[in-house]
A and B are shown apart, each in its own frame.
Chain A
Amino acid sequence: MPGGDSVDAAAASEAAGRAGEGAGPVGASGHSEHAAGSVVLELRDVSKSFGPVTALRSGSLTVRAGSIHALVGENGAGKSTLVKIVAGVHRRDGGTFELHGQPVDFASTAESKAAGVAVIYQEPTLFPDLSVMENIFMGRHLLGRGRRIDRAAMHAETQRIFDRLGVRIDPRRPAEGLSIADQQIIEIAKAISLDASLLVMDEPTAALSGVEVDRLFAVARSLRDEGRALVFISHRFDEVFALCDMVTVMRDGDYISTEAVADTSVDKLVAAMVGREVSDLFPKTPAELGDPVLQVRDLSSTGQFHDISFEVRAGEIVALAGLVGAGRSEVARAVFGVDGYDTGEVAIDGKPVPARNPSAAIRAGMGFIPEDRRKQGLVIDASVSRNVAGAIRRTLSRAGLLTAARENAAAATWASRLEVKTSALDMAAATMSGGNQQKVVIAKWLATRPRLLIIDEPTRGIDVGTKAEVHRLLSSLAGEGLAILMISSELPEVLGMADRVLVMCEGGITAELDRAEATAEAVMHAATHAAAHSATGASTHATTYSGEGTR
């Protein structure tokens, strides 16, 4: 569908416009006119192999002080490997690696830290049992007399950094129970206390809500304005355009191009990333709608959601849209029976499904793909076959026993249908890219021949090329009569894929929009409907949601 591109570009240009207006507290300096300083990081033709697998063929990256440099590329392009070489987790096989003009070769993360490199990983790495301030100073505690660690000094220093960042987290509280956003703030505080001259953020916004993204960006900009160099890895182009000064594209372990963000466009970046023009990001084709498959009536759960009623028909894709925290995932979990609900009813093909009983839900014909597939949908260390066969092991087994041959046969059928790229089905799922993992999870559920598939954030953390494949797959499944309930925070995905959009806000459904009615403005308005009356203010949320557009 040609429409996909324009949605994308619109979101991006809007986001870029916002940055120019200075939406954040320190966002006043536009990206293009910002004077770049001396070269902080220089990587040339860096390569790295793991056994026979070449993860990085020829990676190059030049980052200057006082700039935010975006690193984009599909999953498997070699970004993470590059970052890990900079961090000292891996050692490069070849090429040059210079920091502040000096050749370096880090053998450990301790060495890279000492050289002023701070890396914030996708999943924050904190010690849950220890206090926030200990997390910030672990490994380099401030010492007082007699080499005793000086808790008062660490507290004061942490408080000073938090004040600067405008964060209200008690330095003495344990890190346990902090939101991902707060954990990321702590990682940033760590980098600041290290006085890092180079800060690398690997997809820091993947798990953040809009307000939290704004706060993170404000911090990133103020760090840039202090003259630090930042590397920002993201799958979301609008964020790249809103935040970054330069962008480097990688593909298949190779360096492709580096450009000023002001001189490029989403289309050019996408083309460089995939090596081909991607015109159909959201290819849902109209399908013949059948009878209602899922009927949900007046579902309520205290503190989570209330009065949820909707239906999904055969061949239909219904999207649950809304801000993070609106209660979408909670509804999905309740419908599938992972969590209970207080009142209401769930029915498949008119027959009620018992509450709090996922195996009954599966028997009734439901499939459920949770948001965090690594944790919930996939047995990460098990083979592909075992994962696919997992959901149907009852029908596969003879006299209660499973044989590898039968598992493989069943898995091969589905893997080939879904074009899962895995040379051997007995490879562990952990070794595959995010897109292929998602396909394995889908295959796993399709093998149960469900009537309804619930899928939470189907393309989170999946690169552009594979995203389209997942979308095409969902579309063709709907065409075959499967009912699909999709939760998505990506506005273009919602608008492109859904036959009908249910918008949730603060636990309730605030709008039901047909494909024709579902515009970015309409969805945004409904998603922030209730928020307009609260102290937070609607405008924040509105910009926020558009900010999440191309996740």
Chain B
Amino acid sequence: MTAPATQDLAPTEELLTDPSRMPRARRILLGILRSRELAILLVLIFVVLVATSRNSGFLFSSDGWRNFLLNPSILLLVAVGQAAVIITRNVDLSVGSVMALTAYLTGRLFIDVPGIPIVVVFLLCLAAGALLGLINGALTTIFKVPSLVITLGTLYVFRGVMLTWAGSDRINAGDLPRDFLALGTKSVLQVPVLTWVAVAVLLVVGYYLHTARGGREMYAIGSDPDAAVLYGLRVSRRVLLAFMVSGALAGLAGAFYTARYGTVSSGVGYGIELQAVAAVVIGGVAIFGGSGTVWGAALGAFLLVTINRALPSVGIPDFWQQAVVGALILGAIVLDRFLAHRQAAKLARARESA
């Protein structure tokens, strides 16, 4: 029971309770091997392998490769923003409506301001999204109402604004400059431009959450909001920032959507908020905040989109495609509970034997 107990800890237990006793390389390697991100990546590779073995065009055709990288990039953006919000123990359900608004905004800008630079359009979409995110964040932090309720409200409000603004109007490919549409499909170094942008965004957000004070404070807020107040953290400011990031990325995703598909109807982004939450949860971000990474959320987005594309090519009917996604979410959540439970038990055991 006493001193020698720590000598023969299993590696997983040691990684949990005594990581500093391990050599650095071993600690990092074990950390990666036991990470959720690696598990998702393996599942993703498995899905791609199966789909490609049935139909080699799934990956090994110019279209297949491009779709593999391009299709997830919109969801990836939204999921990264969503992850930042969920890490602070909030949720942003309005992202689909934000996306719809900026998708339409993109079209209107090109129609109403002929010759407007494409970069400016992207920046305006980012800014518009951030503004809508600011509204969500302000309502949540000022009125201390759960963000689930606030963003459920703004989900309808923003969508309503978009419908009123657009009326029966539709944006068609003909309304958009050719350069802009080309951007939606263009590749650099075999990787679509939009994917490059999405990955760049992912890197920035991931870097911030991992190595900036503000990012670490977001984790702390999600881990225990009351303690965060006692620590003197600027909780409202951080939560506000998370919502602005989520809004801005959803805004950017709206511009992406227009570039990628060339048409904007009233149904843009419909239901993407739930896909984003699913991607985040599958990627290992705890639904009550405080843990998980945007890398996981991004991989989760990749996996979701890829599965949706792979299932038809493997010949699985539509109904089962939905069910598979559902099973994936349930599986991820059950796995999380199980792992959290096991970790708590291990930590408690380690304490007793210490």
Q: Decide yes or no whether A129 CB sits under 8 A from chain B.
A: yes
Check A155–B20 contact: CB distance below 8 A: yes
Tally of chain B residues near chain A (CB < 8 A): 37
With A127-B290, A149-B213, A535-B2 already in contact, the answer to whether A170 and B20 are too (CB < 8 A) is yes
Q: Which stretch, A5-13, A172-180, A331-339, touches the partner chain B?
A: A172-180
Set A89, A109, A125, A173: member contacting B18, Cβ < 8 A = A173
Interface status of B321 (Cβ within 8 A of chain A): no
B residues with CB within 8 A of A: 2, 16-21, 211-213, 216-217, 219-220, 222-224, 226-234, 286, 290-291, 343-344, 346-348, 350-351, 354
12 pairs from A and B in contact (CB 8 Å cutoff) = A121-B230, A126-B227, A127-B227, A129-B286, A130-B216, A138-B217, A139-B213, A149-B216, A170-B19, A173-B16, A178-B351, A182-B351
Most buried by A among B2, B227, B344: B227
Contacts known (A155-B20, A177-B350); A129 close to B291, Cβ less than 8 A = yes
| Additional A-B contact list (10), CB under 8 Å, known A130-B219, A173-B19 | A129-B286, A134-B220, A139-B220, A148-B212, A155-B20, A171-B20, A173-B17, A173-B347, A176-B347, A177-B347
Decide: A177 near B232, CB < 8 A? Known: A127-B224, A129-B286, A130-B219.
no
| Residues 112-128 of A at the B interface (beta carbon under 8 Å) | 112-113, 121, 125-128
Which residue of the partner chain A has the closest CB to B19? A172
A46 to B230, CA, bound (A): 22
Is A164 engaged at the interface, CB distance under 8 Å to the other chain?
no
- For A179, list chain B residues within 8 Å (CB): 351
How many residue pairs, one in A and one in B, have C-beta atoms under 8 Å apart? 101
Partner of A130, one of B234, B290, B343, B354: B290
A 83-142 contacts with B by CB, 8 A: 87-89, 108-113, 121, 125-130, 134, 138-141
Q: How far is the CB of B88 from chain A (nearest CB, A)?
A: 12
Query: How far does the alpha carbon of A194 sit from the alpha carbon of B296 in the complex, in Å?
Result: 34
The answer for the CA separation of A179 and B347 in the assembled complex, in Å, is 10
Near B by CB (< 8 A), chain A positions 201-257 give none
At the interface, yes or no: A276 with Cβ under 8 Å from chain B? no
* Distance (whole angstroms) from the CB of B281 to the closest CB of chain A: 16
Q: Pick from A89, A121, A125, A170: contact of B17, CB below 8 A.
A: A170
A143 contacts the other chain (CB 8 A): yes
State the Cβ distance, A385 to closest chain B Cβ, in Å.
27
- Cα–Cα distance between A147 and B229 once the two chains are bound (Å): 23
CA distance A504 to B231 in the complex (A): 40
| Interface residue? A168 (CB, 8 A) | yes
Q: In the complex the two chains form, what is the Cα distance from A129 to B230 in whole Å? A: 17
| A65 CB to nearest B CB, Å | 24
State how many angstroms separate the Cβ of B272 from the closest Cβ of chain A: 27
The 8 A-B residue pairs with the shortest CB-CB distance, nearest first, are A177-B347, A110-B232, A125-B227, A129-B290, A127-B223, A109-B232, A129-B223, A172-B19
* Alpha-carbon gap, A71 to B16, bound state (A): 39
A113-B232 in contact given A129-B290, A168-B354, A171-B20 (Cβ < 8 Å): yes
**Closest chain A residue to B18, Cβ basis:** A170
B16: chain A residues within 8 A (beta carbon): 173-174
Instruction: Verify A126–B224 contact, CB threshold 8 A.
Output: yes
